[in-house]
Chains A and B, each alone.
Chain A
């Protein structure tokens, strides 16, 4: 009986101590909250968003475009790719991004790289929801047009003409972009980059 009591006490103190330590000294609570609970786990629901990728002016909750977007947009098209550490579809799409931008990177890395398409700069920013700086992660909600809260999420930002004004104009795509083969997925990414570049060319001059 005594041994059992010692076991119970020791076990509980150890478990409670580790739990308290984890909560107090590590950011495990917010890590679980931000990367598991608040993000819609597409692999848990075995579904992928069925989205038609259309350009729009309206950000979620009418939020202002962040300064890093506006700064890069003044130089050309901006292409954002959001991912999380554990994400099957992100792993499927990542090689296409590496192919298109001719660069190798790890899934945890924050990457900013520029490529010229049809004479226009395309700035690619790879954002990890687990590791990237907060100002990049915070832009996720702004462009999560369907409020899916899922990853991967791709955002193409260019200029568009809206009732007399040239404004940032963006499109959001999710998952494998409803394409089944690797070839089609890559082509879809490229097609929208080309659309964004064409829109940029049309509207950039009006911005000045």
Chain B
């Protein structure tokens, strides 16, 4: 079976698992990826919500704080950020929109130096969002990232409004969230994996695990001819020939397939 197809099947499988709530299966686990419990068919809790609730309004609930972190930790130690590439439903969505982003990039070329600097610095944004909006603002002022989350808007607000016409009215956060949702759509249609690269707080939790994860992608630098075919197909925009356990790698395997000399491989150690 083709590698690309295997990954698509895995993503579809996890999408179904994430939506088992439609069959009445509402568990007490946290998703190890980005998905929302407010989705009418959601089957588990958003790990970010659990983190936010654990620190809300200067209270600290150690159990709720540790619970999502250890779930993400176990997954992260084994696979690193592979869940972003193989399991996350938002990743699946971006896989579809990535094709548009790629075409757009060809037609609207921006100066490489500028885009590279913004791209490199922008990747730290997700860590700032994780610490700032998931931990600090809930703790100090009670404002939570999930109040404005565009994924909650996509899989919660829109389906609930459509399934229950006239039964709900916009709340205080609706319009700011709508603006963020529109920006989210623009982002994922213009930058391949833009959400994963710059904004995903779950990605920020998982990224450091790439440094120690059992599964990872390795490049044989000695035999690499620097043709850069791998970098050109990488959805995360990683400089693959110089990569070593890069925190941004989502183990999608596109570079493994693209390498003409087969020197990029999945490793397990």
**Residues of A that sit less than 8 Å from B by CB:** 1, 4-5, 7-8, 11-12, 15-16, 18-19, 22, 26, 28-38, 40-51, 85-86, 88-89, 91, 146, 148, 175, 178
> In the bound complex, how far is the Cα of B152 from the Cα of A47, in angstroms?
11
Do B171 and A47 touch (CB < 8 A)? yes
**Residues of B that sit less than 8 Å from A by CB:** 21, 26-30, 36-38, 42-46, 49-50, 52-53, 56, 59, 63-64, 66-67, 70-71, 73-74, 77-78, 142, 144, 146-149, 152-153, 156-157, 160-161, 166-174, 177, 212-214, 269
Which residue of chain A is the closest to B143 with respect to CB atoms?
A: A88
Residues of A close to B148: CB separation below 8 A: 46
Contact of B168 among A7, A8, A29, A48 (CB under 8 A): A48
Which residue of chain A is the closest to B72 with respect to CB atoms?
A: A15
Contact of B169 among A19, A22, A33, A178 (CB under 8 A): A178
Do B71 and A46 touch (CB < 8 A)? no
Do B169 and A46 touch (CB < 8 A)? no
Residues of B close to A91: CB separation below 8 A: 142
Do B153 and A46 touch (CB < 8 A)? yes
Contact of A37 among B28, B66, B167 (CB under 8 A): B28
Do B74 and A19 touch (CB < 8 A)? yes
Do B37 and A36 touch (CB < 8 A)? yes
Do A19 and B170 touch (CB < 8 A)? no
Do B53 and A18 touch (CB < 8 A)? no
Residues of B close to A48: CB separation below 8 A: 168-171
Do B28 and A33 touch (CB < 8 A)? yes
Which residue of chain A is the closest to B214 with respect to CB atoms?
A: A8
Residues of A close to B42: CB separation below 8 A: 37
Do B171 and A46 touch (CB < 8 A)? yes
Do A1 and B269 touch (CB < 8 A)? yes
Residues of B close to A42: CB separation below 8 A: 171
The answer to whether residues A44 and B70 also contact, given A8-B77, A33-B28 and a CB cut-off of 8 A, is no
Residues of A close to B30: CB separation below 8 A: 32
Do B77 and A31 touch (CB < 8 A)? no
Do B64 and A12 touch (CB < 8 A)? no
Residues of A close to B269: CB separation below 8 A: 1, 4-5
Which residue of chain B is the closest to A175 with respect to CB atoms?
A: B171
Do B66 and A8 touch (CB < 8 A)? no
Which residue of chain B is the closest to A32 with respect to CB atoms?
A: B28
Which are the 7 A-B pairs with shortest beta-carbon distances? A33-B28, A29-B28, A44-B38, A15-B73, A47-B168, A36-B45, A45-B156
